Amino acid sequence: MSVHPAAHFDEKPGRQVELDVATQDCMIHMGPQHPATHGVMRVLLKADGEILAGAQTHLGYLHRCAEKIGESVDWLQYLPYTDRYDYLAAMNNNLGYSLAVESLLGAEVPERAQYLRVIVAELNRIASHLFAVGTYGLDLGAFTPLFTALRDREEVLELFEKICGARLTYSYIRPGGVMNDAPEGWMATVGEFLNRLEESWHEYWTLIAENKIFIERTANIGVLSAEQAQAWGCSGPMLRGSGVDWDLRRDQPYLIYDRLEFDVIKGVGYRGTLGDCFDRTFVRMFEMVESVRIVRQCLEQIPDGEIMHEEVGAVIRPAPGESYVAIENPRGELGHYCVSDGTKIATRVRVRSPSFCNMSVAEHLMPGSMLGDAAAIIGSVDIVVGETDR
């Protein structure tokens, strides 16, 4: 009698049990209410034991027809909708849309307004990166970084509240300039905040970047090569974290960025392989330092003068034409493509979302990683789902 090679014999002779076990990959639904997805998004994970064999992102849970609304309301009425793409960087969203409309109008924004725009945009970049770094620590199981980051982020929100009355969705930057001038003493308060942030930044670095557990959870995890990053249209810290030297503020300057001195931060494989999760955090950490440097220069150089173009009113009617303007949002290239037929309502509004492009490559970073690394990889992309869906 032939015996199956997988047969198992117990102690009693004559008894035979064959083990015919079939295995298959396990499908795991991460979200759409999972806190580590940073919004209402679902990631379908395929796992072979503890090893990820595949991943697929499912978006659309926050789709609000923003682009279609842009073709249904006045040019200025659409501004508050831009706040709600990336609700952690609303100032930058306002700026991107306003520059696209101004390109159609051919309007030159007053110099003081340009400086104010850069100040609030860079403060918003600091606030966004603080939240990104803090919540990333939370994704990996550490509560302290978030509470520490929220302490300084709260000061930025208070500064925004003083200058425009809002803490999250601002509509402060608008076509033609800014809503109102800085109140008395506001500039001095900004300078005091920058002093405190420079001191607390070292606390963040020690707490996060030099933490043994954080390093082990992020170094050599989710490695994205420079070639992959460019092929998938990644931008912002996601692109620069892979070592690509590209920043729209320097390479396609807008406003008064060409007058300012700052460094473009790139990943260097500081704790592991170039382009890993740690490098993307490394970029965001040091971009805060450069934003402080930029704001300081603006505080020193800002001139007196008007804050709004005199010919841009509440009713905007650009000449027929089209424009595309991209800016360096905290998450990457935020672009607005606008088409005008000469009326007060746009013919077409199209938004190029950095979070959407950056998230598209995440599912290619996960296969081969451990199941527990899924949260680390998604968190390192730093997406805002309101921007992916719009």
| CATH number, position 80 | 1.10.645.10
pLDDT tens, position by position, 146-168: 888 999 999 999 999 999 999 99
Count up the domains in the chain and report the number.
1
Within a domain: 332: yes
- Domain span at residue 148 reads 65-389
In whole angstroms, give the CA distance from residue 80 to residue 91.
Answer: 11
Q: Over 70: is that where the pLDDT of 14 sits?
A: no
Q: Kindly state the average pLDDT of the residues 236-242.
A: 94
What's the per-residue H, E or C state across 281-330? HHHHHHHHHHHHHHHHHHHHHCCCCCCECCCCCCCCCCCCEEEEEEEEEC
Contact criterion met (CB below 8 Å) for 63 and 77: no
pLDDT tens, position by position, 302-345: 999 999 988 887 778 899 999 999 999 999 999 999 999 999 99
Within a domain: 8: no
Q: Residue 375 is encoded by which pair of tokens?
A: 């949260």
Q: What is the pLDDT of residue 372?
A: 87
Phi-psi domain of 182 (left: phi exceeds 0; alpha: psi -120 through 50; beta: other):
beta
> How confident is residue 21, by pLDDT bands cut at 50, 70 and 90?
low
> How confident is residue 139, by pLDDT bands cut at 50, 70 and 90?
confident
Within a domain: 46: no
List the one residue out of 7, 11, 49, 13 whose CA is nearest residue 28. Answer: 49
DSSP secondary structure code for residue 209 in this structure = I
Q: What is the pLDDT of residue 18?
A: 55
Q: What is the pLDDT of residue 4?
A: 45
Q: Over 90: is that where the pLDDT of 209 sits?
A: no
Q: What is the pLDDT of residue 16?
A: 54
Q: Over 70: is that where the pLDDT of 6 sits?
A: no
Q: Over 90: is that where the pLDDT of 97 sits?
A: yes
Within a domain: 5: no
Torsion of CA 193, 198, 200, 205, to 10 degrees: 150
Q: What is the pLDDT of residue 9?
A: 38
Within a domain: 22: no
Prediction pTM value: 0.90
Within a domain: 297: yes
Burial class for 89, CB neighbours closer than 10 Å (0-12, 13-18, 19+): buried
Q: What is the pLDDT of residue 29?
A: 87
Taking each helix axis from N to C end, the angle separating 373-381 and 111-139, rounded to the nearest 10 degrees, works out to 180
| Lowest mean pLDDT across 17-31, 70-84, 165-179, 269-283 | 17-31
Residue type, 250: R
Contact criterion met (CB below 8 Å) for 292 and 242: no
Within a domain: 269: yes
> How confident is residue 221, by pLDDT bands cut at 50, 70 and 90?
very high
Within a domain: 351: yes
Q: What rounded mean pLDDT belongs to the chain?
A: 89
Q: What is the pLDDT of residue 304?
A: 93
